[in-house]
Structure 1
Amino acid sequence: MNSAYDRHVAFPSGLGNSTSKQLRSMSPMLIIPVGSTEQHGPHLPLDTDTRIATAVAHAVLGHLDGAPAGDWAVAPPVCYGASGEHEGFPGTVSIGTAALRLLLVEYGRSASSWASRLVFVNGHGGNVEALAAAVALLRHEGRDVGWVPCIAADADAHAGHTETSVLLHISPGDVASADLAPSELGVLGDPTTATTADGERIFAEMVDGCAGRMRRWQPDRNGLLL
């Protein structure tokens, strides 16, 4: 495990490597990455959105001022989302908005029985409708739940400069540089301009943005943290 992504996901405050006994004494706040499994052009892995959301979720832990790091745990990611627009590409697995909404609602109801607060960290734009509906319902039911997007200013849409740069930063060994093309089918943006330095900057912007929203904890009516 040598990539920046591997270093992020190895962070010790992970739900998956905790025990029930540890959690019983913590009453933790839970961070849940939500991504997708979908085509990202010929040069990026199918789990790009999940990788980004997971890396951001772990990096956010170091930015949550006012709460001990031990009070937070990062859950294993939700790896499938609403990706119907990519159904024509091999490798895409979409569960659709309705199924994702139900999954998130049931996830929130279950986890809220032992976690004091939940925040979903979203890495895929197609998940927004399901997230907003699910978190709004969970909050209506009295649960302390919110969600945040992994976004950066002037980002392009899909598998272009933004995502390719971030992957060069967090998972450089998994970017197929030989397959970079500015107008490849399934790519919205220009991945040929991507750089590791831009990826580091964009990733930091995503982390800072999510951490700031989580520190303020000001959810709108759909649970989006402002």
Structure 2
Amino acid sequence: MTRFADLTSPAVAEVRADDRIPVLLLPVGAIEPHGPHAPLSTDPIISAGMCDRAAARLADDPEVRVLILPPLPYGVTRYGAAFPGAVGVSEDTLHAIVVDVCLSLAQQGFPRVVIVNNHFEPEHVSTLLRAVATLDSPSVRYLNLLRRHTAARLTDEFRSGSCHAGRYETSLVLADHPDLVDTAAMRDLPPLIVDMPAAMRDGRTDFPTMGMDQAYCGSPAEATAAEGLSTFDTLTELLIDVIRDLAKQD
């Protein structure tokens, strides 16, 4: 069993007393529009998929015990607010819940936590990094997929910055939840190249002013489940590297 909340209280005590070092994963995302074809839950789906795969691969590991915390699906999301379905929380709310959850876990004897996030709105990411800084513990890590050396292992579209609900994200959803993708709508979408990081630097703070009038950019029509599975393999390897490094912490 890999889901923390599915354990009984005595089972949690057994995990705490086990020789294997427990590392807990906190999947994070946001509920926001992902084009006319992909679900609002795209970001949480990707985070959950990474966590599930990492826990499965390490299920029989003799040194580490991986448990997945209940996901945190709500994040700071304002760029898609012009479209139906964007449900956001404030920076202070996100910061408080991440800090409080990690402190509560540490008090229970579970200090090692990896925050697994796939929503990259700048204010959201900076809030998660601020939460880690507030905790000021080497046992709490944020897997930062935007770092250059990490992004270099991901797809061309991801590295281009034109990847909201495009080929990269849609492929990942197709890999795990194909029933949630409107493939007919997906195939009709033309490529839309938007350098989102550059647009953000220019002060554009919503999808319409970036030219994303359907809340997507990239090439969703090119998405495939096969690419999603391949990308999940890479994302899972990145996460496992963090888990193993964290397990070595005194």
Q: How does the TM-score come out when normalised to structure 2?
A: 0.75
RMSD: 2.2
Contact 1:112–1:118 (Cα < 8 Å) also in 2 = no
- Residues 111, 140 of structure 2: 8 Å contact kept: no
In the alignment, structure 1 residue 95 sits paired with structure 2 residue 95: no
Query: Is 1:138 aligned to residue 144 of structure 2?
Result: no
Q: Tell me, which stretches of 5 or more residues in structure 1 are unaligned?
A: 1-11, 219-226
1:215 aligns with 2:212: no
> What residue number does 2:229 align with?
200
How far did 1:108 drift? 1.1
Larger radius of gyration: 2
The CA deviation string for residues 68-117 of structure 1, in whole angstroms up to 9 with x for no partner, is 48722101100100111111111110103222112111111112112131
Matches within 5 A, 1:156-167: 156-167=162-173
Corresponding position: 1:116 with 2:111: yes
Q: Distance in 1 between matches of 2:4 and 2:59?
A: 20
Shift of 1:45: 0.7
Matching residue of 1:22? 11
SS of the residue aligned with 2:27? strand
Structure 2 distance, partners of 1:187, 1:158, is 5
CA distance in 1, matches of 2:81, 2:88: 7
Q: 1:128 to 1:157 in 2, by over 3 A?
A: same
Structure 1 residue runs of 4+, over 6 Å off? Answer: none
TM-score by length of 1: 0.83
User: Could you tell me how far apart the structure 1 residues matched to 2:97 and 2:182 are?
Assistant: 33
Does the 8 A contact of 1:49 with 1:123 survive in 2?
Answer: yes
Q: Is the 8 Å Cα contact of residues 62 and 69 (structure 1) preserved in structure 2?
A: no
1:40-89, CA deviations, whole angstroms, 9 ceiling, x for partnerless residues?
11111111100110110111124449954872210110010011111111
CA shift for structure 1 position 29: 2.4
